[in-house]
Each structure stands twice: as C-alpha cells, then as structure tokens.
Structure 1
Amino acid sequence: MKKIKVAHILNSVGGVDVSLRLILENIDSSKFDSIVIHGINDTKSLFFDDKGNIVKDYKLPIKRNISLINDFKAIFKALKIIKIEQPDIIHAHSAKGGIISKVITSFLKIPVLHTPQAYSFLSTNNIFKRKIFLGIEKLFVGPNNKILASSASEQNRAINEVGYPKQRALLFNNSINPINKVKELSIEKSWPENYICSVGRPSYQKNIELMLDVLFEIKKTINNIHLVLMGVGYHSPNLKSVKNKINDSGLKENVTLLKWTSRDDIFNIIKNSKLYLTTARYEGLPYSVIESLALGKAIVATDADGNRDLVKDGFNGYLIFNEDVKEIANSVVKIVKSKSLNQKFSENSLELFKQKFDITKNITLLENIYINNIKR
C-alpha cells in the first residue's frame, strides 16, 4: 500500500510546536509519510517520527505578525516545495499556516485541513482589529479546505462565526502521551513546598493580571499562598505590567516567575502543586491543562474556549464565569483547604484524560481523518 504523504505547514512555536511533535511521534510512519514546512526562526530542534527517524523539514520566512513582504515570500516558497513534494494532503497549523496553505490549495487543489489552535480574531479586544482578523478567516473559507478543530469550542467558532458548514468542521482534540513517570527537577527549587501553579506567558490571551488579582484575594484567607508561574520567557508582551502589578500588590514573596524550564520540570512542578490555575481569555485546547489532567490535578479555570472542554465544573475542578475574581479565589481556597475534595477532583481529572485526551488511543482518529479527506 502506498504511503499517504502529509505536509505540515506552520510557525512551529509554543503549543503549536508541541501539537505537531506529538502527531509526528505517534502517527504510523509505515502508513504515513510526513514532511514539515516551518519558520526560519522558530524551533531549532529536529522533528522525529514514531520510529525515531528524522522527519524531513523545510524553512520559510514565516513570522508571527502580519508582514506582506515576508508572507508573500513564504507563500511563494511553500508553493514551490509543495509542487516538488506533491503531498496527498496539507495539515495547516495556526493562523499563519492556515493562510499560506489555503492560498496554495487555490492553485494546486490539494485538500487542506486547518487547525487554528485558537483563532487569531480572539487575540485582541480591539473591535476593528477583531473584525479584520475574522474577515481574513472568512475570506479563506474555500472549497478545498476544512477546519480540523483542536477542541469542541474551536469547532463551534468555525461553524458559528467563521462560517464553515458543519460537515466541513471536523474535530481532533489536542492529545498527549500518558505521563507515567515524573523526573526530578533539573533546576533549583526556590519556592515553598505548598504552592499552586500555572503555565502562561504574560499576554492578552493568558490574562495573568487577573491571576494576580485572584492571588491577592486568596492571600486574605491564606497568607502564605504561593504561585509558580511558568513560561514567562517567550513572547511575553505584558511581562513589565505583570512585574509592576506583583510589586504594587505586595505579592513579591508570593510569586515565582520561571522564564524557561524543560517539559520534564513543568511536569514535576504541576504534579507537586496543590492545584492548577488558569485565567485565560481563550485557548485552542491548552496543553498545560491537558497535562494537568494526565498528572491528576484539580483545576480552577475561567470559562473560556478550550478550558471549558477540559474542566467540568464540580467534577474535576471549578469553571468560573465572567472572570469573577472573588469566585475564582474562593474556589482555589476551597480546594486547597479540603484534602478530600482535592483528591476527588484529582482522580476525576486523570479519568477524564484517559477517556478523551490520550494520543496513543486517539491517533487512529487522526489517521482516519487524513485517509477520508485525500483525493481519490
């Protein structure tokens, strides 16, 4: 049987990079031949398949922000690569990968599956910019592409706001490998034994300022509460305001900011925390929360796209509407102070992971989606 060739196009950073690597390392390479087309300045690490072999990759001048010159160069170069490689299907990841791939398919008629990993029009509260970003997404709803949403929330956005017909809005939940063993920390532990944690770069999306307001409120009840915030190094536009808020709120002794640490360290920090907290405004399907499920942690989260697909209120944590600072704080306090409640939520998180977000079980769903959407 001839292998199905899949071309992945993306700016390989953050959760998008994690998503691609998990797919490549789990998909059956005896049936699927993968290539990666990504940014010049994104990842420096090689890509590997399920057998540990290096996956062929090409580089484009893809940048996070809109740049007409670079974007046209990227489209032109990607078009040349696709003509040479002749894949059966293109899997586009993130907004920029989606646009490049959808332009290409208008010329070559190769089927495209686009995984937004959180729509770009959600990334601003500026109404004008939001309309422009949404307008771009609507412009590229073409006959040769489908949405392959990373969560049910994202699938609903594709149908109800972008305008994809239901039959062209598919779903493959972001998924990870089970975390069977947690390694020792490779960095010095500079925070107290009892802490809560989160992963999120200071940005509009992650809304760390709200998290600090919550921490300030918690401190009224639990004076020694401590937050370990990971991932504040890469592309953190709000870092200065976050640091100022920490100082102005008197939280300097209650917060540890980690610029960068390995995924093994992140697993260790999540595993040994009291709970996981996220105050994000929107997500695709956040890997740090999926990891928290796999590590059996109680979770307190804002009711945002992605979060609501992973946290069932009263089952494995609490889902809070309207960014209510006091309600989020009270939920954290309730879990921290009750061992039995924390244990119940922890067990339910792990069960939910096993049911829905284990990639070793879910990868066949993606393989079937690829098979069912190639031209025959």
Structure 2
Amino acid sequence: MNVLMVGPHRKVKGGISTVVNNYYQSKLISAVNLKYVPTMIDSNKSVKFIYGIVAYIRILLILLFFRIDIVHIHMSSRASFYRKSVIVKMGKIFKKKIIIHMHGSDFDVFYHKESNEKQKKIIRQTLSCSDIILALSEEWKEKIKKYCGNAEILVLYNAAIIPESNLYSNNSCYISLMGRLDERKGVYDLIHIIGEICSKYPYLKFKLAGDGDLERLKKNIKSLGIEKNVEVLGWINNEKKFEILKKTLIYLLPSYNEGMPMSIIEAMSYGIPSVTSDVGGIPRLIKDGENGYLIKSGDIEALKKYLFKLISNEALRQKFSEQTYLRAKSLFDINENAKQLVNIYNSLLSSENEVRV
C-alpha cells in the first residue's frame, strides 16, 4: 500500500508535527510505503510561499510518476486549510483516495465566524471531496459533520509513545504547562493564582513551555511578583520536554478550546495527574475525579481549588497517576493507533491490497 502523507515540516512547532513524528516511530512505517511531503516550515512569509510552491511541485511529480493509493492530508484551519485544499483537488484529479485528518481545535470558529458565504462554500466543497475525514474526538465529529457533506467521518484519537513503565515522580516540585503560551491556553488565568499557591508552597516551580508572545507573558509574571516561581522556557525540543515531564508533579491545561491535545496525552503517558478544562476531546482523556480534574474554561477558583487539593494529597496524586498511566497505555498508544489507521486505509482499498500491522 502506497500512502502520500502531507503536513507541516516535521521540525515545525506544533501538535501536527508531533503526531507525524510519532507515526515515524510506530509500526505504521513497516506496514505501508509512506511518502511524506511537508508543505510548510517555520520562517518568514516569502520563504513559506516558495517552500509551499516547491511542495506542490513535489506532490504533482509524485502523483504523476509513482503509484499512490491514498493521499492522507493533515489539515488545520485558516492558512493550513487553503494550502491543503489545493492538494485535495490535485488528489481528486488523479482519482486518488483522500483522507483529511482534521487537527484545528478552532476550525468551527474558522468556519462559522471568520468565513463569508463564499469561503464557507469552498470549505464545504473541499471537505466533501474527501473519502474519509478523521476527527480527533466524538465531540469534534459532531461539530464538523454539519459542513462535511457526504464524507464519512471517523474518530481517530491522537496517540503518543508510551513508556514501558510509569515514570511519575510523586516528590517532584514542577507544575507544568506546554503549548502556545496565550489566552486560548489559559496561561493568563493560571499566572493570577500562582502567587497564592506559592505563598503556601514556596518550593514549587511552574514550568511554562511553548511559543507565543513570551515577552508580554514575562512582563505580566514580573508585575505579579512571581518570577522566582515561574520559568518561561519558550519552545523546547523533545529531549527537554521529556526531561521536564519526568519531573512534573501536576500538569495543567486550562484552555478555552482544544481538539485532542497531544500535551495531555504525553503527560498521561508519564503518569502525571492533570487539572484541565473540559473542552473539545479532553473529557475522553481525563475522567474527572479518577485520573485528574476537569474545570470550566476561565474558572480560576476551580483551578486553584484542585491544584491545592492535589498538591496537598500525595496518596491522591499516586492514585491518579496509576489510573492516568493505565488509561494512556490502553487507549492512546501510538502502535495501537497505527493499527487503527492501517485498518482505515484498508477500508478504502480492495481486499487484494489489504495489509496488516
């Protein structure tokens, strides 16, 4: 089976590149003949434009001169959608099976609030050209089905590389958050309670990792007088990320919207209890009171309450850790995810082309 997969460069900052990199370390690579073409890199607009044009040429040549059974397109909203819509059309011209893998947690906002009627029509036409659309959660499927035409929508959770054993450290002093450091992730809600928490537990260190307007965030942290307890790391590589996860006591993600966040799945894989908002597919990851706590977006008092509860109760943290690690291992292992993806590929092709993982 020959699969052309399209997405961002594997070194681009973000969840999609993490998903792709995980696939490269899974059994998917041995199960199918995978060609990956990145269409976007982190750079200025001119370089991005040239890189995109070169990617279109590469895809065209692959479709012309190689046997491709399936075109698997990782798509988000806004610019990502419009870039990938061209590739959807190319795939249909060459009569290939098309899978659109939807990642953008704010695609619904993009469609309903940011697009005019003409743009909405383009979105509907593009999505309806696919044979299968992969949604990251059941909640996400319900949202997008309203504008996906007759395309079949299947749920495929994100997944991570799960360590062989639970690496959670119950005597750590790190409380971590990873992702874009902006209002949408709830970072500015978090920093307003750190002072009160650290006045009672001064040994705690809040580790904030990700991109965004870091200078603005640092200024806010300084104005609140909490800089001794907060470290803004910026974007970090996988080695540094996993080093921090091994030392993390509690993971936080008080976001205002999400799809199926890789950062929580990775925290779960290290057995870390989480306090997170109940948006998007997060309730599929965190079961309130079983392996973490769910709060409403913007509920700073609940965030503070559950942080204090976990910080003060070592036995509760250990219980949540055991549950969250088992849940990650049973539901979000990348090799099991790869098996599901191969089954989806097979469902698009005739039985004579079927492959197994």
Distance verdict in 2 for CA 1:126–1:144, change over 3 Å: closer
Say whether 1:290 aligns with 2:274: no
Equivalent residue of 1:274, what SS? strand
Q: Give the paired residue count.
A: 338
- The two structures, once aligned, show a CA RMSD in angstroms of 3.2
Distance verdict in 2 for CA 1:195–1:22, change over 3 Å: closer
Equivalent residue of 1:244, what SS? helix
- Partners of 1:316 and 1:207 in 2: CA distance: 21
**Corresponding residue to 1:150 among 120, 129, 136:** 136
Matches within 5 A, 1:317-356: 317-356=292-331
- Partners of 1:286 and 1:220 in 2: CA distance: 31
Matched letter for residue 152 of structure 2: R
Matches within 5 A, 1:176-255: 176-180=160-164, 194-219=173-198, 221-232=200-211, 236=212, 238-255=213-230
Return 333-342 or 105-114, whichever deviates more: 105-114
Indicate the residue corresponding to 2:70 in structure 1: 89
Indicate the residue corresponding to 1:21 in structure 2: 21
Indicate the residue corresponding to 2:291 in structure 1: 316
Contact 1:214 1:329 in 2 (8 A): yes
Say whether 1:33 aligns with 2:33: yes
1:35 positional shift: 0.3
Indicate the residue corresponding to 1:366 in structure 2: 341
Equivalent residue of 1:348, what SS? helix
Length-normalised TM-score, structure 1: 0.79
| Residue ranges of structure 1 left out of the alignment (5+ in a row) | 44-60, 184-191
Indicate the residue corresponding to 2:125 in structure 1: 139
Contact 1:118 1:154 in 2 (8 A): no
Distance verdict in 2 for CA 1:125–1:111, change over 3 Å: closer
- Partners of 1:126 and 1:158 in 2: CA distance: 11
- Partners of 1:368 and 1:109 in 2: CA distance: 21
Contact 2:2 2:33 in 1 (8 A): yes
Contact 2:255 2:297 in 1 (8 A): no
Matched letter for residue 107 of structure 1: I
Indicate the residue corresponding to 1:110 in structure 2: 96
Contact 2:128 2:148 in 1 (8 A): no
Distance verdict in 2 for CA 1:360–1:78, change over 3 Å: closer
Q: Say which structure, 1 or 2, has more relative contact order (CA 8 Å, 6+ apart).
A: 2
Say whether 1:163 aligns with 2:151: no
- Partners of 1:108 and 1:129 in 2: CA distance: 29
Matches within 5 A, 1:38-49: 38-39=38-39, 41-42=41-42
1:219 positional shift: 4.0
1:226 positional shift: 2.5
Contact 2:71 2:99 in 1 (8 A): yes
- Partners of 2:4 and 2:220 in 1: CA distance: 44
1:123 positional shift: 6.9
1:296 positional shift: 0.7
1:133 positional shift: 7.3
Matched letter for residue 97 of structure 2: P
- Partners of 2:98 and 2:172 in 1: CA distance: 48
**Corresponding residue to 2:2 among 1, 5, 15:** 5
Equivalent residue of 1:245, what SS? helix
Task: Summarize deviations over 1:155-184 as a string: whole Å, max 9, x none.
Answer: 232224x3355x71112211122223799x
Return 95-104 or 269-278, whichever deviates more: 95-104
Identity over aligned pairs, percent: 24
Length-normalised TM-score, structure 2: 0.82
Matched letter for residue 112 of structure 1: I
Matched letter for residue 153 of structure 2: A
Task: Summarize deviations over 1:188-237 as a string: whole Å, max 9, x none.
Answer: xxxx96221111222354232222124245346545542111233xxx2x
- Partners of 1:224 and 1:369 in 2: CA distance: 48
Distance verdict in 2 for CA 1:129–1:220, change over 3 Å: farther
Equivalent residue of 2:275, what SS? strand
- Partners of 1:296 and 1:225 in 2: CA distance: 19
1:74 positional shift: 5.0
Contact 2:214 2:232 in 1 (8 A): no
Matched letter for residue 114 of structure 1: I
1:369 positional shift: 0.5
Distance verdict in 2 for CA 1:82–1:154, change over 3 Å: farther
Return 31-40 or 294-303, whichever deviates more: 31-40
Distance verdict in 2 for CA 1:265–1:179, change over 3 Å: farther
Return 245-254 or 33-42, whichever deviates more: 33-42
